[in-house]
Amino acid sequence: MSRRRERRLTEEERRLWSRVAASARPMRAGNGAGPLEGLPETLAPRELEPPRAAVLPGAVPDTPEHVERVEPFRIGEKAQTWATTAAEPRREEATISLDRRSLRRLARGKTAPEARIDLHGMTLDEAHEALTRFILSAQARGLRLVLVITGKGSGREEPPFPYRRGILRRQVPVWLRTGPMALAVAEVGTAHRRHGGEGALYVRLRKTPRR
């Protein structure tokens, strides 16, 4: 590393320093300070070290292994969006749909659900637990067709809550074909207007297996 070139005092700086030195008075004894010394012939440029930030107890040190890696990008590319809220569950539709003949009979009032459950006002965890109990209990009682009311939802964001309203309408069909409910459910279909329309689902149950 090359040594920086030292700057010499100008004639004006020398004259100024001579005046200051001539007007200086000795300091009182006992204060622990030594006498003033003359200004050196040359002044070396100071190499200042950047101040280090104080590390609080328990804080993660700012070392390379703790620094989050930023992916390279090009000018003009769209900035990445970082999630600040909980991720919304994936929207899926039930693949086991109710047949048209059954839907027509329900629409004409020739058949009707034998039991129903209303999931309004429940959280996802509460709704999942209540729906599981309802479906398995209905199958055990020998019921074949039940109604699950989910509500349509507004589809608008409702800060500060992380999920959109109407999440039950999208999540219930997923629950019905996964876990223990998948063994009890035979068909699923959107309800007729008289039974709630898009805010409710018909669920046809399988017969209880004979032992």
The pLDDT assigned to 8 comes to 75
For residues 137 and 35, the model is more confident at: 137
Kindly report the CATH number assigned to the domain that includes residue 186. 3.30.1370.110
Q: Which residue has the tokens 């309203």?
A: 165
**Residue 174 domain-assigned (yes or no):** yes
Whole-number pLDDT of residue 22: 76
| Dihedral sign for Cα atoms in the order 153, 155, 160, 163 | positive
Q: What confidence tens digit (pLDDT) does each residue in 150-188 have?
A: 987 655 545 555 444 578 888 999 999 999 999 999 988
Residue 118 in domain:
yes
Domain count, the chain: 1
Instruction: Establish if 30 belongs to a structural domain.
Output: no
pTM, rounded to two decimals: 0.48
Show the domain range for 108: 100-205
Q: For residue 10, is it within any domain?
A: no
Predicted confidence (pLDDT) per residue in 20-76, tens digit = 777 766 665 555 444 445 544 444 444 444 555 555 555 555 555 544 455 555 555
